Structure formats: C-alpha cells, structure tokens
Amino acid sequence: MIKGHRSIVIFYLLVGYIFIAFLWWMLLLYNMSNESFSEKRDLLQLNFSYKNASGMSFEKSDDLKLLDEERKAKTYMIFGEGSFFLIVLLVMTWMMHSSLRREASVAQQQKNFLLSISHELRSPIAASKVALQTMEKYRELPDEKRVRLIHNSLHDMERLHGLVENLLLAAKIEDHNFSIGHESCDLSEIVLQVIQKLKETSELKFDLTMTIEPGLMVIGDRSGLVSVITNLVENALKYSGKQAKIDVTLCAENGSAVLRIADNGLGIPDAEKKKIFRKFYRVGNEETRKTKGTGLGLYIVQRILAMHRGQVSVQDNNPKGTIFKVTLPIIN
C-alpha cells in the first residue's frame, strides 16, 4: 500500500473509533442519568409516603414534577451538546479529509512533474551530445550531414531554452513580490512574431490559417505575453498529431482584444477542462502521456493573463479539437 493511502486508512480508523466511542459515551451518560433519576424517584416516593398525610397522589406531586424537569434538562444537555460536538467532529473530519486528499494529489503531481522534467531534459541533452561527439570524431563529415546535425542540435537547444523559460516563469509567479511590466505592447505584432518563429523552428508540419487585425495595443509585459501565446500555439501543435490544422484569429470585440487558437487535435474532455490550468496537471489519457510536457504551460498562461486583467477559456472545436480563447483589455 502506498504511504499516502496508509495514512488515510489510519486516519479513518481513528475517526471511526472516535465516533463510536463518542456515541457509546453519550448513551452511557444517558443511561446513568436515567438510573440516577429512578433512584432519586424511589427516594422521593419513600419520603413522600412518609410525610404525606393529605392522601395526595405522588405522581402529581411538585417534587416529582421538579425531578422530571431536571431529568429532561439533563437529557437535552447530553443529546444537544453531544450533537453539537458530533457536528464539529464531522466538519473537522471533512476538513482533514480534504487536506489529506489535496496533499496526496500534490505529491502525485510533483512526482509526475519530476519524471516528465527528467525526461524532457535528458532527451535533448543526449541528442546534442551525440551530435557534438559525431562532429568531433568525424572532422571530414559531408557538409549536408554537418548542417543537419547543427540544425537538430539548435532545435534541441531551443526546446531546452523554452522549457527553462517556463520553469523560471513558474517559479517567479509563485513569488508574491513578482510583478509584470506595464509597457504598451502591440499584441498583433507579438502574435505574428511568435507564429513566424514557430514556423521556422518547429519540426512538425502543420496547416496554418491566420486572421490578425493589425495594431491592437494592450498594456502589459511583452515577454509574458510572448510566453502565453507560445504556450498556446505550441500546445495546439503538440496535441494535434501529424495533420495539424491550426487557425489563429485576433480581433477587437467589445473593447477587448480576443485571440482564438483553434486546432483539430485530440480535444479535451469536459471533466478535464477546468483542471488543465492547475500546476503540473496533465490529462491522464495515454495519447496525451505520449507527448512531452510538464503540465506548467497552461498554469503560466492563466496566471500571466490574470496579471494583465485578461482571461483564458477553453471550448470544443467542431468537428474535433479545441479552441483556446484569450481576452485582454485594449488601450485606445
């Protein structure tokens, strides 16, 4: 059994024990109170018959009424306070349960993250090392082969660079003192630049259609916005397989710049649509697992956009795939 699961089982066994013990004590107190009432009643009755000369019935006597009220008050106290403590116990158990589950899920996500990051780092480093060793060993390599090796290594370095940028950005976002730049940025130009770079560096073939309204200006952090768009467009490519069709549109709608990135890829199940923005979260199906990634991209996208008073949302594309929609306030 996994360590996290074992502590959850022990926790529930203890809680179960506390509940049973609590109920048992409540019943015990109730029984003791009833017994004490019977004893007091017998004593009272004895006293009553000894003193009573008027022939009045004991059942109607004031002393018995008083004793009965005392018994009722005690019963209310036992069950009233007992129920209150039970409710407090239930609420605390629920809180502990949620926090244990959160902890277990964070631990699992961190484990997944470590596994994926090691893989992400190892493969480009290994490939570049082999390329450099080949060039060192065979000085007289044909030009064509040498150019290919250099091109592949540069591509690997580009990927490593992107990965490290994302890691740094995620670490910075966690810091409460982190604030973004406030310059005026031409969003239309940034989108065009990111796509141009992706066309030059991506080893995947893809069909791209673009409709970009020129000159949409926003206030914000240029490198943060580059990171948002790069993450979204790279995801559209990464999760679309070999025949990727990507459609990027940017236009002004009701005083906001609206960027839509649509793909014809795997799509995202409805149950996962909210979770994908969590840190380290990756959709757990096999097809997604085959692709490289750390689960940090969309977390960064959402956090950076929130710092720009912008938003990101996700919906299904027709007939298949996903559309990510980004909204940012524009300046006149």
- Give me the residues paired with residue 311 across strands: 327
Nearer to ligand ADP (CB atom), residue 149 or residue 295: 295
Longest dimension (CA), the chain: 131
By the rule CB under 6 A, 322 interacts with ligand ADP: yes
Chain residues 296-315 in contact with ligand ADP, contact rule CB under 6 A: 296-299
Query: How near is the Cβ of 284 to ligand ADP at its closest, in Å?
Result: 8
By the rule CB under 6 A, 169 interacts with ligand ADP: no
x/- track of binding to ligand ADP for residues 258-297 (CB under 6 A):
-----x-xx-x-------x----xxx----x----xxxxx
Query: How near is the Cβ of 293 to ligand ADP at its closest, in Å?
Result: 2
3-state SS class at 261 = strand
Which residues have C-beta within 8 Å of that of residue 169, sequence separation ≥ 6? 224, 227, 300, 304
Cα angle 163, 169, 173; round to 5: 145
Tell me how far apart the alpha carbons of residues 213 and 251 are, in angstroms, rounded to a whole number.
5
Query: How near is the Cβ of 325 to ligand ADP at its closest, in Å?
Result: 12
Query: How near is the Cβ of 328 to ligand ADP at its closest, in Å?
Result: 19
Which residues have C-beta within 8 Å of that of residue 289, sequence separation ≥ 6? 282
Can you spell out the DSSP letters for 33-95? HHHHHHHHHHHHHHHHHHH--S---GGG-HHHHHHHHHHHHHHHHHHHHHHHHHHHHHHHHHH
Q: Which helix (H) or strand (E) holds 162?
A: helix 143-174
Nearer to ligand ADP (CB atom), residue 128 or residue 322: 322
3-state SS class at 288 = helix
Query: How near is the Cβ of 309 to ligand ADP at its closest, in Å?
Result: 21
Q: Using CB atoms within 10 A of its CB, is residue 265 exposed (0-12), middle (13-18) or buried (19+)?
A: buried
By the rule CB under 6 A, 195 interacts with ligand ADP: no
Chain residues 211-250 in contact with ligand ADP, contact rule CB under 6 A: 231, 235-236, 239
Nearer to ligand ADP (CB atom), residue 303 or residue 308: 303
Residues binding ligand ADP: number (CB under 6 A)? 21
Query: How near is the Cβ of 295 to ligand ADP at its closest, in Å?
Result: 4
3-state SS class at 316 = strand
Query: How near is the Cβ of 106 to ligand ADP at its closest, in Å?
Result: 16
Nearer to ligand ADP (CB atom), residue 169 or residue 283: 283
Nearer to ligand ADP (CB atom), residue 145 or residue 320: 320
List interacting residues with ligand ADP (CB under 6 A). Answer: 231, 235-236, 239, 263, 265-266, 268, 276, 281-283, 288, 293-299, 322
